[in-house]
Amino acid sequence: MTNKLIALENIMTKTLTFAALHFTVAFSVAYIMTGSIVIGGAIALVEPAINTIVYYFHEKVWSNIENQNWPAFQTG
């Protein structure tokens, strides 16, 4: 596997594990606040799904920034 493919695989793995955690937290909070499994489930599906997509692109942008060695983002 090429380094680019491995990096993409890592980003996807992080995205999917983040999604699982996010769905769990979203459902739990919505259920506790409403007492409704239906509302908790709906919120847990819609909100994290959108955030997961946004997170994937956020990671891609930061990966590009890190790979281009932007001076403003260097730490050393």
pLDDT value of residue 75:
60
37-75: pLDDT as tens digits: 999 999 988 987 788 788 888 888 888 888 886 666 556
pLDDT value of residue 74:
58
**Crossing angle between the packed helical segments 37-67 and 3-34, to the nearest 10 degrees:** 150
8-25: pLDDT as tens digits: 888 889 888 988 888 899
The pTM of this model reads 0.56
Structure-token match 């680019």, residue found: 4
- Answer whether 61's CB lies under 8 Å from 24's CB: no
Distances 31 to 36, 46, 56 between C-alpha atoms, Å: 6, 14, 26
